[in-house]
């Protein structure tokens, strides 16, 4: 049914019903901070009682969309989306005056979306849709050294707990963006993002490099700088150390072999040959 046909149907019902009402709510998106509790306002005009009506809250961005249902003076949990269970509720003591707002506790990343408040009586219905945006500031970037790579030294930057998905960039000491590998993105069951990115850097006059995580929608930015000693870029000491270790290992093995050989000969012949 098209929106125009829906409006005509409502108008037709209204002509024969004294129970018509409007469902109203905020026109601006609701911005929620992860972990906080929020209220999605929804109310009837005029302020008639909704106690004998069906109150549905739906998440329009999810296939199994039922967030909450109140019907026949009780809460219906049969087809509720599992991760809303125990976190969504109505102000039941306020239903008598048309307040059908939804309270959502411990907001998480998966709560972002479009929510429809649908109210139905025996002879009338109306709905209202509100947008919920979720923001979460994640961890400061953690930078680690991965060792020598072809073309330079490998670095890794990681950060987690963000929403929406953040951007990671690598910078040199002059603030110039460095060419990095593809961003690896992981999203946990609560909808928060973990991102990491590898980069290969070459020796510079400062050897200072910065990993920056930023999220423009929530206006957040964090940075971590790392300074690499020049010695790390010279593979020669590493090779020398490896050769020395190999030589020491070989000498040790040879020494142990000679000792075992001598002991065996002594036990067999009564003297050391």
Bridge partners, residue 127, by sequence? 118
Confidence of residue 11 (pLDDT cuts 50, 70, 90): very low
For the chain, what percent of residues have pLDDT higher than 90?
A: 68
Mean pLDDT, range 211-240, rounded to an integer: 84
| C-beta atoms surrounding 55 within 10 Å | 24
What is the per-residue pLDDT for 258?
57
In terms of pLDDT, which residue wins out, 38 or 247? 38
What is the per-residue pLDDT for 242?
47
What is the per-residue pLDDT for 191?
96
pTM listed for this prediction: 0.75
CB within 8 Å of 169: residues ≥ 6 apart = 177, 180, 211, 212, 214
Mean pLDDT, range 91-115, rounded to an integer: 96
Mean pLDDT (the chain, rounded): 85
- With a cut of 60, say whether residue 192 has pLDDT above it: yes
User: Is 193 within 8 Å of 185 (Cβ atoms)?
Assistant: yes
CA atoms within 13 A on the CB side of 143: 22
**Which tokens is 152 given?**
């330079």
What is the per-residue pLDDT for 269?
53
Lowest-pLDDT range of 106-120, 206-220, 225-239, 259-273: 259-273
Confidence of residue 64 (pLDDT cuts 50, 70, 90): confident
What is the per-residue pLDDT for 39?
98
Confidence of residue 18 (pLDDT cuts 50, 70, 90): low
What is the per-residue pLDDT for 17?
47
The helix/strand/coil state of 253 is helix
For the chain, what percent of residues have pLDDT higher than 70?
A: 79
Domains of the chain are 3-135 (2.60.40.10), 142-233 (2.60.40.10), 235-273 (no CATH)
């Amino acid at each position: 049914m098209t929106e125009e046909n829906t409006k005509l149907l409502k108008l037709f019902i209204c002509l024969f019903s004294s129970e018509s009402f409007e469902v109203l709510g905020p026109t601006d998106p609701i911005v929620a901070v992860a972990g906080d509790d929020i209220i999605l306002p929804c109310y009837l005009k005029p302020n008639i009682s909704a106690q004998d009506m069906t109150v549905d809250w739906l998440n329009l961005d999810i296939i199994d969309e039922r967030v909450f249902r109140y019907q026949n003076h009780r809460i219906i949990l049969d087809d509720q989306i599992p991760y809303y269970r125990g976190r969504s509720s109505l102000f039941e003591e306020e239903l008598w005056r048309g307040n059908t707002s939804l309270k959502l506790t411990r907001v998480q990343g998966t709560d972002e979306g479009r929510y429809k408040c649908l109210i139905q009586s025996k002879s009338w219905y109306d709905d209202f849709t509100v947008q919920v945006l979720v923001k979460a500031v994640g961890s400061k970037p953690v930078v680690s050294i991965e060792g020598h790579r072809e073309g330079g030294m490998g670095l890794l930057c990681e950060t987690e707990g963000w929403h929406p998905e953040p951007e990671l960039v690598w910078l040199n000491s002059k603030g110039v963006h460095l060419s990095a590998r593809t961003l690896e993105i992981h999203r946990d069951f609560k909808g928060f993002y973990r991102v990491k990115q590898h980069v290969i850097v070459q020796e510079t006059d400062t050897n200072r490099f910065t990993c920056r995580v930023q999220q423009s929608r929530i206006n957040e930015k964090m940075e971590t700088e790392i300074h690499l000693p020049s010695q790390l870029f010279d593979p020669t000491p590493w090779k020398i150390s490896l050769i020395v270790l190999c030589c020491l290992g070989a000498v040790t093995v040879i020494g142990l072999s000679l000792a075992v050989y001598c002991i065996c000969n002594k036990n067999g012949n009564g003297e050391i040959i």
